[in-house]
Amino acid sequence: MPNVHAHQGQSGRSRHGRRGPRPSSSLSEINVIPLVDVMLVMLVVFMVAAPMMQRGLEVNLPEARRANGLNEERLFVTVPLNFRTDQLLQVDEDTVPFDALHERIAIEMEARGDRSVFLRGDGAITYDELMQVMDRLKEGGVAEVGLVVDFPSER
């Protein structure tokens, strides 16, 4: 409840003149409701924005008429079209330089019991570039390399 103080001047009149005494209050508590509202709004913004910030490599997979679907959880290595210029691949979700691929694969193979990898390559990647990547995978300890393709679309 606000306290009412009458300030007396030299003549005994209130210093506020005709307005009368002014209530003064002291805030000894912090109102946390606006803080909680702002934090909840920020939480929603970050929850919506976080999935949009994940970027992957765009790869146009070649099509195969007789291919088996994937039914196992294996390591994926992706070779994008810009591999020719920047020599970067993607191992699962991480971008890896071509020179460090065999080291990264060796680390992954130690952690896994299965020594097989799925290789996704853009349709415009040459056979030579794909074989270079397969050689590096073999250096890293991969026993089997499976090629990932898209199923043909119905026309």
Q: How many CB atoms sit inside 10 A of residue 148's CB?
A: 18
pLDDT of 44 above 90: yes
Under a CB-based contact definition with an 8 Å cutoff, are residues 77 and 137 in contact?
yes
Residue 10 tokens, joined: 């030299």
When divided into structural domains, the chain yields a total of 1
**Any residues with CB less than 8 A from the CB of 122 and at least 6 apart, and which?**
59, 60, 61, 79, 80, 81, 83
Render pLDDT for 80-127 as a digit per residue (tens, 0 to 9): 888 888 988 988 888 899 998 888 888 888 877 778 888 888 888 888
In a domain, 118, yes or no: yes
Range of the domain at 83: 75-147
**Any residues with CB less than 8 A from the CB of 16 and at least 6 apart, and which?**
7, 22
pLDDT of 29 above 50: yes
Q: Among all chains, which residue has been given the structure tokens 């939480």?
A: 43
Residue 94: CATH number of its domain: 3.30.420.270
